Amino acid sequence: MDVGALLAGSGREIAVDDEVALEPFEGFDFPRPASVHLEVRYADRLLAVRGRISVEAHGWCDRCLEEVTSPLGIDVDERLDPEAGREVDPFGESNVLTGHRLDVADLAQQLVLSILPLGVRCREDCLGLCPICGANLNTSGCSCDDGEIRG
């Protein structure tokens, strides 16, 4: 998205309503594009980006290996320094800026990845898998003796 007019001091706001495809990351994928609703303005020599990003993350339960889809919502309130864009500091906070361009897809990807949990569960009281036979204890019991490992 071109933010050159904002940086030139036009004093206006740019609204972004877009669908952005996100790349899979660490066992999570995103079956549908993220819904991105942002307002971008230039204030005090910074780009102020406010709005909301909504997406569904798909992964696998850490205990029972069942599919899990979690809705995620991120309230965006970012300040980006146009003088410290991607060319100056590729790993900095303003690395979504290249010259007069704001990479909305990269911003959405970074913000979504920053809130992903380290692991997910299908439910809080997930019983997991039997360590002996591998049965999903949420859906059925098993006939294994507790503590006995069969070889």
Q: H/E element holding 93?
A: none
Query: What is the C-alpha to C-alpha distance for residues 48 and 38, in angstroms, rounded to an integer?
Result: 10
pLDDT at res. 87: 66
Whether 145 shows a pLDDT value over 80: the answer reads: no
Whether 150 shows a pLDDT value over 60: the answer reads: no
Query: What is the C-alpha to C-alpha distance for residues 24 and 31, in angstroms, rounded to an integer?
Result: 9
Prediction pTM value: 0.80
Residue ranges with strand state E in the chain: 14-20, 34-43, 46-60, 67-80, 97-98, 101-102
Which of the listed ranges 115-119, 139-143, 147-151 does the model predict with the highest average pLDDT? Answer: 115-119
- 18 DSSP β-pair partners: 36
The per-residue pLDDT for range 4-44, each reduced to its tens digit, is: 888 787 778 889 999 999 999 988 999 999 999 999 998 88
User: Quick check: 41 and 82 in contact, CB under 8 A?
Assistant: no
The per-residue pLDDT for range 57-107, each reduced to its tens digit, is: 999 999 999 999 989 999 999 998 888 766 665 556 667 888 888 899 999
pLDDT at res. 151: 34
pLDDT at res. 146: 60
For 45, the token pair is 């020599």
CA quadruple 13, 17, 19, 25: dihedral, nearest 10: 50
